[in-house]
Amino acid sequence: MSLVFIDPMIIRSLNKSKLRKKILYLLYNMYPYGTYLSEISRKVKSDPSNVLGCLKGMNGRYNGHFSLIELGLVECIERGGMKIYKLTDYGKKIVETLKDQDSDIIESLRW
């Protein structure tokens, strides 16, 4: 396994929000596929506006600079008027590097 550089901003962002981690690990379990906002919201058991804040940022509450999309971990793809969120290749490498430390979060997302 090759070493992966993890930007300290990514570590800070994920440590500040358990919901960001849950979303990231959920999308990892779906990789290489993605899903839409309401499905993510249902799976992580959180309000869609909070999930959107983690993905894209939201005025005041979720800083856009620490969003999963801004950090390059998740991408948003528009298909037929729907927005699909999926893990990037870089996001996959980050999760694979960190997942041993977060086994409790991963376990909570088992289907």
Q: Helix, strand, coil proportions of the chain in percent (round to 5)?
A: 55, 15, 30
Spans of all domains in the chain: 8-103
pLDDT tens digits, one per residue of 67-101: 999 999 999 999 889 999 999 999 999 999 887 66
To which residue do tokens 């058991």 refer?
45
Q: Specify the 3-state DSSP secondary structure of 49.
A: helix
pLDDT tens digits, one per residue of 13-59: 898 889 999 999 999 999 999 999 999 999 999 999 999 999 998 87
Collect all residues with Cβ–Cβ distance below 8 Å to 2 and sequence separation of at least 6: none
pLDDT at 111 over 50: no
The pLDDT value recorded for residue 5 is 75
* Angle in degrees, CA 49, 111, 25, rounded to 5: 55
Residue 83 phi, psi (nearest 5): -100, 120
Beta bridge partners of 35: 85
Q: Which of 79, 74, 44 is nearest to 56 (CA)?
A: 74
Say what the pTM is.
Answer: 0.84
User: Looking at domain 8-103, which of 1.10.10.10, 2.10.109.10, 1.10.1240.10, 1.20.1050.10 is its CATH number?
Assistant: 1.10.10.10
